């Protein structure tokens, strides 16, 4: 086989795969069962929908972390030129987008029951949609270039730009919005930082919330790995 490249070593690390698969299964089973039957604080208007916190918020954590991984592998591709790094970056971008769409969907469902509308025009909904559009453009760009190496390089360049454009969309604009229905916004009664520890979390919920975040992120890694393997097989088939 010869010496393996860095990315091949990362992808081929069997023990690491075992760790996140176990975390994903155990934590998600726990989050699904105890998240639905466990105790939650009774908040007016939120009521039982507060349980959506276990599904909606981990999606955003997943989106940011997976987009960050995708960004790292794009940088790595530009520096080292290993084509696997590009495929891995693409896989991460895809799972990140899937998480973004799911976060958006769970958010809309929540908005329908608490704010009374699927689309409430909230600043975070707007920025979330914009960030999904940014990554949508990444896939359009990839499909627009036929030549492999050219595609990998241009896509990596755009992916780095895309990650940096997530920063104002997810961390700057929501913070200086005059009005937001999300926790931390002025519409919710509390003012200031929309960080997650200002959510109406109590200690009982934290016991589900954090495992859910790790569980979903691990599932994201798992999905990325599977998608990457499909990509590699496709390329092998194309070359043979």
Partner 1 sequence: MIIQEVKQLLRKEWTVEWRQKYAIQGVFWYSLTVVFLCYLAFGSLKPFVWLSLFWILSLFTAVNAITKSFVGESKGGMAYFYTLFSSKSVLAAKIIYHWMLSLFLSLVLLGFYSLLLGSPVQKYDLFFTGIFLGNTGLAVALTFLSAISHKARSGASVMAVLSFPVLIPTILLGIKISKMGMDGLPWSTATHEMGQLSGIILLTGALSFLLFPYLWRD
Provide the token pair at 114.
Answer: 């608490």
Q: Which is nearer to partner 1, 165 or 226 (CB)?
A: 165
Least Å from the CB of residue 175 to partner 1 = 10
- Rounded CA separation 71/203 (Å): 34
Q: Which is nearer to partner 1, 28 or 134 (CB)?
A: 134
Least Å from the CB of residue 131 to partner 1 = 8
Least Å from the CB of residue 69 to partner 1 = 19
- Interacting residue ranges for partner 1, rule: CB under 8 A: 78, 130-131, 133-134, 136-137, 140-141, 144-145, 150, 153-154, 156-158, 160-162, 164-165, 167-169, 172-173, 176
Nearest to 70 by CA among 238, 223, 232, 235: 223
Nearest to 125 by CA among 173, 197, 93: 173
Least Å from the CB of residue 154 to partner 1 = 5
Least Å from the CB of residue 130 to partner 1 = 5
Q: Which is nearer to partner 1, 17 or 142 (CB)?
A: 142
- Rounded CA separation 30/69 (Å): 26
Q: Which is nearer to partner 1, 33 or 150 (CB)?
A: 150
Main-chain dihedrals φ then ψ at residue 202, nearest 5 degrees: -120, 180
Q: Which is nearer to partner 1, 6 or 164 (CB)?
A: 164
- Rounded CA separation 23/17 (Å): 10
């Amino acid at each position: 086989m010869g010496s393996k490249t860095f990315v091949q070593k990362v992808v081929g690390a069997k023990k690491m795969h075992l760790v996140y698969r176990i975390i994903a299964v155990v934590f998600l089973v726990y989050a699904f069962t105890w998240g639905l039957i466990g105790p939650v604080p009774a908040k007016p208007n939120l009521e039982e929908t507060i349980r959506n916190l276990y599904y909606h918020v981990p999606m955003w954590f997943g989106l940011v972390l997976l987009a960050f991984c995708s960004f790292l592998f794009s940088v790595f591709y530009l520096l080292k030129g290993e084509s696997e790094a590009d495929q891995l970056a693409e896989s991460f971008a895809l799972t990140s987008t899937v998480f973004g769409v799911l976060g958006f969907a769970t958010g809309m469902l929540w908005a329908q029951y608490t704010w009374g509308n699927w689309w409430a025009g909230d600043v975070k909904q707007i920025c979330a949609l914009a960030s999904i559009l940014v990554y949508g453009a990444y896939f359009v760009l990839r499909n627009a270039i036929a030549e492999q190496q050219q595609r990998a390089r241009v896509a990596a360049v755009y992916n780095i730009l895309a990650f940096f454009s997530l920063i104002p969309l997810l961390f700057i604009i929501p913070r200086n919005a005059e009005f937001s229905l999300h926790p931390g916004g002025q519409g919710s009664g509390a003012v200031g930082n929309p960080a997650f520890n200002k959510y109406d979390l109590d200690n009982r919920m934290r016991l589900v919330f954090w495992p859910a975040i790790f569980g979903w992120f691990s599932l994201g890694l798992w999905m990325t790995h599977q998608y990457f393997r499909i990509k590699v097989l496709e390329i092998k088939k194309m070359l043979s």
